[in-house]
Amino acid sequence: MNIDSDTVVIRAHGLTRRFGELVAVDRVDLQVPARRVYGFLGPNGSGKSTTIRMLCGLLTPSAGEIEVLGLRIPAEAEALRRHIGYMTQRFSLFEDLTVRENLEFLAAVQGVPKAKTKARIGELLGQYHFGDRQKQLAGTLSGGQKQRLALAGAVIHEPELLFLDEPTSAVDPESRRDFWEKLFELADAGTTLLVSTHLMDEAERCHRLAILNLGVLVADGTPAELTGRLQGRTFIVEAADPRRAQRLIVDVPGVLSVAQVGNNLRVLTAERGDAAESAAGIGQRIDEVLAHAGQTAQTTATPANLEDVFVAATRNDAKHAVQAA
Amino acid sequence: MNGRRLWAIVIKELRQLRRDRITLAMVVVVPVIQLVLFGYAINLNLRGLDAGIVDQANTAGSRALVMDMLATDVISATQKADSPQQLMAMIRRGRISIGIVVPPDFERRRIDGRPVAQVLVDGSDTTVQNAAAQLAQTPLDSALPDTRAPATSTPPLGRISVVSFYNPQRVSAINIVPGLIGVILTMTMVLFTAIAIVRERERGNMELLIATPLTSTELMVGKVLPYIVIGLLQTTVILALGIWLFDVPIRGSVLDVYLATGLLILANLSLGLLISTRAQSQFQAMQMTFFVFLPSILLSGFMFPFAGMPRPAQWFAEILPLTHFLRLIRGVMLRGASLGEMRADVLALVAFVAVMMTAAILRFHKRLD
Ligand SMILES: Nc1ncnc2c1ncn2[C@@H]1O[C@H](COP(=O)(O)OP(=O)(O)OP(=O)(O)O)[C@@H](O)[C@H]1O
Ligand SMILES: [Mg+2]
């Protein structure tokens, strides 16, 4: 398959999955471009894993259509299997096999040509820093090492499309950088990656991302597009008594969330206030309220980050939510 | 089916098994313990059983016979009785385990070659029964050489009749060991595969496996193959111990023994797989295994004679692989029959394997829902 960068590899329309009464994924529309790292951002239980499972053909959708690499899923899921790699959220390699044995098993099962198997495993052991640990049982690896091994296992057959479900949840920040280097290398080599996460700094690295909340896709686009949409709606308030200031600001009409960051408060406002004033107008109202209460404080506009995007997308109704970060 | 993928599963299973000490121990220790427990419980050479003796003949010959029996130390005469009826009452009350009756026409019977004495046994205790069988072999002619019957090296069997109450089947180690092969294999083999798939689901491996090109058939067959080897190993352990400890004969061909056992192993493994596709947890799998194991032991003819069971129980027992295996293995080992002569039971086992395996493969979906 010859895929250039503007081909769409995953297309989903009206994707829905119900578990009894619960709607875990609710009418999600998705388009994932080739050779890109596509992020799935969402809190616990937002339906990230469920969506990924449906896209790999492991779960049958309750409604909606899926097309992955030109194959209709779940009907043609079996044909899709040889082209994808899937790293599950929970460690799913065999804990009672060694690092090397796990890779040998996956190479055979994924159909890596016999003649190439040895070289490929050697290559992966080197790239993923398992040279001196190949005889260690996978169950005795640390959390981060397990995730590294799982990634090595998922790419052993050089799939065109990789699904990674929270691949770095147990990786320390230092190694996470290393991990993401690998993901970009894979994307450069022509692999399409779909990565789920609930970490903002990871989401920021993705070429594109979709934000899920309660099973609903609430926003998608490049990180720059997403933060750009919040232009002018974020403020930093430096206050002498941040706790008290926070309680005051929350009640200002048009304020979506107030989060304490160190001694400062990060305020996200709605697009328009109750009196249809602009976001900047809401900023002024904050100053007035604080001054009226005798608080010494200074409000300045600040560029939006993905966390703001996330909060804006998920907390439209939670006007009184107080978030301590 | 792709040979390389199938082989990958087999190797993986064997590697995991090698590191699983408990399962490995189960493979060897379970048959040894079961065999020794069952076998010795039945075959104990008891000494000093309480006995009552009624010698109604009271001739030199009859007294010599009684002395010989006492000399074996198997029994000690603790109770005095005057009639067989009195002995039976004593057995019923549990005062004695063995009663010996020498009838008044002892000398006549000896000349006619009819049974010369009766050993009454409390058959509700199988160990006692074995002791009685041993007693019944007391050579009649040792003390008083009989000119009419030239002395032979083999003891005159059947000259003393043993009447066993409460256990007319007279089950012995020889009967038990072939059946025990079946029971042990039913217990261990079903459990191995019943757990096999559920365990991978519980540990999360299954989500990885079903996202690969592995097919259901490869997965199922790959899980069964290693355990066939394990099962045959177990069989060898049981057979070797049975021959060594209990002189169990193999009157038919050894190949037939292994073929019949192989069929039972396959039947149990495929049943286990089917359980595994149903069970939600390893605990549930064990419960279901037990649910199969109990009727197998009770209804197959291992514990109670098949012919004595009510009709519906017999019909039900015909579904159980162990029932057919017991007929086959007893036929081959004890009667020297060949599998060809017991085609119906062979076919029943083959059919069972085919149905269970197909059902397991069909029931297993490469899906999480
Ligand atoms: N097999 C299932 N049966 C019933 N409910 C399920 C099942 N799988 C998922 N759910 C529910 O669906 C919702 C979405 O779950 P999902 O695992 O997709 O969330 P997630 O975004 O991956 O969360 P996390 O970040 O915690 O991994 C949750 O409310 C979960 O309880
Ligand atoms: Mg998840």
Give B94-149 pLDDT, tens digit per residue: 788 788 888 888 888 888 877 778 888 776 666 666 667 767 666 655 444 343 33
Q: What pLDDT is recorded for position B166? A: 42
For position B151, what pLDDT does the model report? Answer: 35
Please say if the pLDDT value at position B46 is more than 90: no
- Residue A322 pLDDT: 40
Q: Identify the residue whose tokens are 């039972």.
A: B264
ipTM: 0.86
CB atoms within 10 A of CB A287: 16
User: Tokens 């004679």 label which residue?
Assistant: B305
Q: Is A179 on the interface with B (CB under 8 A)?
A: no
Model pLDDT, residue A105: 97
User: What average pLDDT score do residues B50-74 get?
Assistant: 82
Confirm or reject CATH 3.40.50.300 for domain A8-222, answering yes or no: yes
Each domain of chain A, given as residue ranges in start order, spans: 8-222, 228-324
Tell me, in angstroms, the distance from the centre of ligand 1 to residue A50's CA.
Answer: 6
CATH 3.40.1710 maps onto chain B at: 49-165
Q: Using the mean position of ligand 1's atoms as its centre, give its distance from the Cα of residue A48 in Å.
A: 8
Residues above pLDDT 90, as percent of chain B: 32
Mutate to test the pocket of ligand 1, among A18, A19, A89 (most ligand atoms within 8 A of CB): A19
CA-CA distances (angstroms) from residue B364 to B89, B206, B286? 62, 11, 19
**Candidate from A16, A17, A21, A48 with most ligand 1 atoms within 8 A of CB, to mutate:** A48
Query: Can you give the pLDDT at residue B124?
Result: 65
Ligand nearest to the CA of A46: 1
Residue A126, pLDDT score = 94
List pLDDT tens digits, range B197-251.
899 999 999 999 999 999 999 999 999 999 999 999 889 988 898 888 877 888 8
Q: Say which residue the tokens 């409460």 belong to.
A: B166
Pick the CATH number of A228-324 from 3.40.50.1950, 3.30.465.10, 3.30.70.2470, 3.90.1150.10: 3.30.70.2470
> Do A110 and B12 count as a contact with CB atoms less than 8 A apart?
no
**Distance of residue A220 Cα from the nearest chain B Cα, in angstroms:** 27
Residues 11-40 of B with CB under 8 A from A: 11-12, 15-16, 19-20
The pair of three-digit structure tokens given for residue A75, joined into one six-digit string:
């009907």
End-to-end CA distance of chain A: 46
3-state secondary structure of A120: helix
Residues of B in contact with A104 (CB under 8 A): 8
CA A156 to chain CA mean position, Å: 23
Half-sphere exposure of B210 (CA within 13 A, CB side): 22
What pLDDT tens digit does each residue of chain A (325 aa) get?
A: 444 546 899 999 999 999 999 999 999 999 999 999 999 999 899 999 999 999 999 999 999 999 999 999 889 999 999 999 999 999 999 999 999 999 999 999 999 999 999 999 999 999 999 989 999 999 999 999 999 999 999 999 999 999 999 999 888 888 898 899 999 999 999 999 999 998 888 999 999 999 999 999 999 999 999 999 888 889 998 888 888 888 888 888 888 889 888 888 899 988 776 666 788 888 888 888 888 888 888 888 889 888 888 888 877 544 444 443 3
On the question of a common fold for A8-222 and A228-324, the answer reads no
Partners of A71 in the β-ladder:
A68
More confident residue, B159 or B252: B252
Q: Are B198 and B285 in contact (CB under 8 A)?
A: yes
Average pLDDT over residues B42-58: 72
**C-alpha dist (Å) from residue A260 to A263, A265, A289, A316, B71:** 7, 4, 18, 19, 99
- Residue A174 structure tokens: 């230092």
Q: B301 — alpha (psi -120 to 50), left (phi > 0) or beta?
A: left
The CATH number fitting domain B49-165, selected from 3.90.1520, 3.40.1710, 1.10.357, 2.60.120: 3.40.1710
From A96, A104, A109, residue closest to B5, measured CB to CB: A109
Rounded distance between C-alpha atoms, residue B206 and residue B202, angstroms: 8
